[in-house]
Amino acid sequence: MAGFRSVEATLKERADLACVMLSVVSGTEDLSGSVGRVIGYGLPMGPGCIEFGPSSMALWLAPRSWLLICALDEEHEFERRIHQAFPDKIVHSAVFSDALCWLELSGRGSLRVLESGLNCLECGGFRLRHAKRTILAGVTTIVVHERENSWLLGVERSRAPYMAEWLIETARRLESMT
């Protein structure tokens, strides 16, 4: 996928990122500590929360599901450890990398680009180090505000070319207006 760089925004595909979906059958509060010991850090326990590990992060998706974003070469290790620790499948893990493409949008104008396509009440921006599943440019997207002026966007692979094109065109349009 083609990248984009301008004075206001930079877009690049993050092909180095993978993800593992975690879900628990019941007793989330009791199991979150057990899962945390297996992955090496605690799971976030509220909407939009992220917990950061040494080389990965866990996003809260729902009361009983999380997404671990990790390096491509770590995804199978996380899955193996979960399966080994929970052979009864009370905690289930599945490699989810084939489902999502990760794009990184950064730069001082990146929030303006995102705001142009958000259909939600948080158009004033997302809190730093938080995430949300939302609609961006008509596409369901996981938006992670990882660092100041830097956003990870998890988009269904079939929608990624459209999303990249939309982000590039929006950045260009906004720059031409300034």
Same domain? For 33 and 54 the reply is: yes
pLDDT of residue 1: 59
Residues 119 and 165 in one domain: yes
Domain ends where: 63, 95, 127? 95
Co-location of 78 and 122 in the same domain: no
CA-based end-to-end distance of the chain: 27
Residue 5, pLDDT score? 84
How many independent structural domains does the chain possess?
Answer: 2
Q: CA 24 to CA 89: how far, in whole Å?
A: 8
| pLDDT lower than 50: segments of the chain | 121
pLDDT of residue 168: 92
- Does residue 37 share a domain with residue 104? no
Domain match, 9 and 24 both:
no
Residues 53 and 117 in one domain: no
Give the pLDDT score at 7: 78
Run of H or E including 83 = helix 75-85
Residues 124-153: tens digit of each pLDDT: 557 889 998 889 999 999 999 989 999 999
pLDDT of residue 117: 85
- Residue 145 structural domain: 4-14+99-177
Of 73, 95, 117, the position where a domain reaches its end is 95
Query: What H or E segment, with its residue span, contains residue 116?
Result: none
User: What per-residue confidence (pLDDT) applies to 85?
Assistant: 94
pLDDT of residue 122: 55
The burial class, CB within 10 Å (0-12 / 13-18 / 19+), for 156 is middle
Look at residue 57 in the predicted model and tell me its pLDDT.
96
Q: Are residues 74 and 123 in the same domain?
A: no
Rounded to two decimals, what is the model's pTM?
Answer: 0.89
d(CA 70, CA 58): 9
